Amino acid sequence: MSQDLKATIRAHIESHYPALYLITHEESDADTLVRELAEDRKIFEWNLASGLVNFENKQPLSKWCDLSDALANLLDQEFTRDSFIVIRDAHLGLRDQPVAVARLKALITKVLAEHEFSVTIFLVSSRSYIPPELEKFITLFDMPLPDEDMIRGIIREHVEAYGLEIDDTTLEKLTLAFQGLTRYEIGQLINRGYQQDGKIDLDDLDLVHAEKQQIIKKSGTLEMLTVREKLEDIGGLEKLKPWLKQKAAVMADWPAARAFGVEPPKGVMIVGMPGCGKSMTAKATATLFNLPLLKLDMGSLMGKYVGESEGNMRRALQVAEAVSPCVLWVDEVEKAFVGIGSGGNGSEVATRLFGYFLTWMQEKTKQVFVIATANDISALPPELLRKGRFDEIFYVDFPKEAERTEIFRVHLERRKKMNARIQLDRLAKATTHYSGADIESIVKEAIEQAFLDGRVPLDTERLLNIVKATHPLGEVMKDKVQDYKKRFESMKIKEAS
Ligand code: ATP
């Protein structure tokens, strides 16, 4: 348990904050914390499984009762000394339970009016759920997952308990791999590893990876993508590519880079025109870094309860940290943060989500390289674009002539259709305002036609005819594109090419 967190919570207790909400994956950690803070206070506890129980041995004190009855009981109590009230499974006990919410509010009011004794209510849960009526009374604390020192300690405890030994390299590698997991999960994995072969060694890393895959699947907000895109498959973006290569070199040799004083890479924001290679770059970066690619679905974070969306984001980011080192791709980042600061309920959630994301970006210590992609920069709050959040922000414009040559080449070669009859320079000249996606569909269409015409080789004329018959995105969305362009230029965002 971090001493800082304990000291902060103690300060809140001493300042008579009535209700503290502890988010924790490990109930036993919350118990230890409450016990340490209690000193000689009396502790009352309610949990969903057994009702009111003895805090120490968890034996029921009476017949099972729901939270609202337990709170009625506590409301009747005369407090005769300083006390703690622990409400476990708080999110289950309060969700859709208006009577329980009302009684908790009444109890908080009673606690606030109590001058002789200090009473603190702890709400303990694995996820945050704070009904709006209680928001102003409750302070939220997130109990962190074990840090490196604690993980080392947990491994050593198990090694000793099994009467084994462990060398420093294995200890360090396992410590890094176990990051992002709870104490319980780490213990379970070590036990399973030991049961497999009677050892605690690097073979157990496979188990750790499998466990992390499970966590991603269960999260519902993250997806692990299998990618095969390479940087060489992208035509153009000649300024963005070397920048990414530089970060890749740092990530690949991170322990040495850190020791030398290099700042940890945070990530990059890529904004710009649709179909011009932003998603492709995110995927190619994971290949370049040789790291797993996690995609965060912003839409799936939105929950209908207060605190639920932040809870989802918190868990998603914790999972990303658990899988670190990794690349975290946040696609269409503008969609999640739209309407920030404009008032109204949805915007409040967005504002808080955004605040959480920014703080995480600022403070993250794990090797999670973030790639945020966006089309509509006007919807993005300026704080996100401020320097220091991301290492760099790049603007991807429609490809220039030389880039279009490359994009044609890449797509023709990928499909093994490049030949001497194709003059790339003529194609590039004829495709001003065409996006990479437009060019790809021209190539695909040409191949299909050539097949239907008797499997003939492709030539420039066929491709040009299709170009003429195609309406490029840059023209279809002309006004919007002009508007984006002006904004990017006025904000002096670095061009990717
Ligand atoms: P959106 O904003 O619409 O999501 P995007 O910028 O993320 O668009 P991508 O999904 O990366 O665009 O591109 C769509 C397709 O267009 C890609 O699958 C790729 O084949 C092709 N493409 C786009 N830009 C390039 C490029 N520079 N080089 C090669 N192919 C490209």
How open is the CA angle 488-492-497, to the nearest 5 degrees? 75
pLDDT digits 0-9 by tens, 149-185: 999 999 999 999 999 999 998 998 888 888 878 888 8
Pick 496 or 73 by higher pLDDT.
Answer: 73
Pick 345 or 164 by higher pLDDT.
Answer: 164
Q: Is the pLDDT of residue 350 over 80?
A: no
Question: Do residues 10 and 54 share a domain?
Answer: yes
Q: Confidence class of residue 250 from pLDDT cuts 50, 70 and 90?
A: very high
Q: What is the mean pLDDT of residues 192-213?
A: 88
Question: Is 346 part of a structural domain of the chain?
Answer: yes
- Structural domain for 456, as ranges: 401-476
Question: Do residues 313 and 377 share a domain?
Answer: yes
CA distances from 63 to 68, 331, 339, 414 (A): 14, 51, 49, 70
Q: Is the pLDDT of residue 306 over 70?
A: no
Pick 83 or 309 by higher pLDDT.
Answer: 83
Question: Is 485 part of a structural domain of the chain?
Answer: no
If you take atom 27 of ligand 1, which residue's CA is the nearest one?
A: 235
Q: What is the pLDDT of residue 123?
A: 97
Ligand 1 centroid distance, CA of 240 (Å): 15
Final residue belonging to a domain, choices 94, 112, 142: 142
Question: Do residues 100 and 157 share a domain?
Answer: no
Atom of ligand 1 nearest to the CA of 403: 27
Atom of ligand 1 nearest to the CA of 331: 4
Percent of the chain exceeding pLDDT 90 equals 55
Q: Which of 233, 279, 410, 497 to mutate to test the pocket of ligand 1 (most atoms within 8 A of CB)?
A: 279
Question: Do residues 280 and 376 share a domain?
Answer: yes
Question: Is 56 part of a structural domain of the chain?
Answer: yes
Q: Is the pLDDT of residue 134 over 60?
A: yes
Q: Which of 273, 280, 447 to mutate to test the pocket of ligand 1 (most atoms within 8 A of CB)?
A: 280
φ, ψ at 138 (rounded to 5°): -110, 135
Question: Do residues 165 and 280 share a domain?
Answer: no
Question: Is 50 part of a structural domain of the chain?
Answer: yes
φ, ψ at 118 (rounded to 5°): -100, 130
Residues 6+ apart with CB under 8 A from 362: 388, 389
Q: What is the pLDDT of residue 295?
A: 94
Q: What is the pLDDT of residue 423?
A: 95
Least confident of 61-70, 93-102, 226-235, 338-347: 338-347
Question: Is 244 part of a structural domain of the chain?
Answer: no
Question: Do residues 406 and 331 share a domain?
Answer: no
Pick 377 or 440 by higher pLDDT.
Answer: 440
Residues 6+ apart with CB under 8 A from 226: none
Question: Do residues 187 and 316 share a domain?
Answer: no
Question: Do residues 425 and 385 share a domain?
Answer: no
Question: Is 484 part of a structural domain of the chain?
Answer: no
CA distances from 55 to 58, 59, 82, 286 (A): 5, 8, 15, 48
CATH number, domain containing residue 436 = 1.10.8.60
If you take atom 19 of ligand 1, which residue's CA is the nearest one?
A: 437
Q: Is the pLDDT of residue 275 over 60?
A: yes
Question: Do residues 8 and 126 share a domain?
Answer: yes
Q: Quick one: tokens of 231?
A: 């940087």
Cβ–ligand 1 contact at 412 (below 6 Å): no
Q: What is the mean pLDDT of residues 254-275?
A: 90
φ, ψ at 427 (rounded to 5°): -65, -45
Question: Do residues 288 and 334 share a domain?
Answer: yes
- Strands of the sheet containing 83-87, edge to edge, are 51-54, 42-47, 83-87, 119-125, 19-23, 138-142
Q: What is the mean pLDDT of residues 458-487?
A: 87
Question: Do residues 28 and 49 share a domain?
Answer: yes
Ligand 1 centroid distance, CA of 352 (Å): 31
Final residue belonging to a domain, choices 181, 214, 247: 214
Q: What is the mean pLDDT of residues 221-228?
A: 87
Q: What is the mean pLDDT of residues 144-148?
A: 84
Q: Is the pLDDT of residue 345 over 60?
A: no
Q: What is the pLDDT of residue 448?
A: 96
Question: Is 303 part of a structural domain of the chain?
Answer: yes
Q: Is the pLDDT of residue 305 over 70?
A: no
Q: What is the mean pLDDT of residues 243-268?
A: 91
Q: Is the pLDDT of residue 252 over 60?
A: yes
- CB count in 10 Å sphere of residue 168: 7
Q: What is the pLDDT of residue 109?
A: 95
347 with 341: CB under 8 angstroms?
Answer: yes
pLDDT digits 0-9 by tens, 407-441: 999 999 999 999 988 999 999 999 998 999 999 99
Cβ–ligand 1 contact at 193 (below 6 Å): no
Question: Is 20 part of a structural domain of the chain?
Answer: yes
Percent of the chain exceeding pLDDT 70 equals 96
Cβ–ligand 1 contact at 397 (below 6 Å): no
Q: Which of 240, 268, 276 to mutate to test the pocket of ligand 1 (most atoms within 8 A of CB)?
A: 276
Cβ–ligand 1 contact at 235 (below 6 Å): yes
Q: Give me the chain's average pLDDT, please.
A: 89
Q: Confidence class of residue 29 from pLDDT cuts 50, 70 and 90?
A: confident
Q: Is the pLDDT of residue 142 over 80?
A: yes
Q: What is the pLDDT of residue 277?
A: 94
Q: What is the mean pLDDT of residues 255-269?
A: 90
Atom of ligand 1 nearest to the CA of 236: 27
Final residue belonging to a domain, choices 396, 430, 451: 396
Residues 6+ apart with CB under 8 A from 318: 145, 180
Question: Do residues 103 and 160 share a domain?
Answer: no
CATH number, domain containing residue 278 = 3.40.50.300
Q: What is the mean pLDDT of residues 455-484?
A: 88
CATH number, domain containing residue 71 = 3.40.50.12060
Q: Among candidates 368, 342, 349, 243, which has minimal Cα distance to 306? A: 349
Ligand 1 centroid distance, CA of 436 (Å): 5
Domain count across the chain: 4
Atom of ligand 1 nearest to the CA of 235: 28
Ligand 1 centroid distance, CA of 249 (Å): 25
Q: What is the pLDDT of residue 2?
A: 67
Pick 76 or 481 by higher pLDDT.
Answer: 76
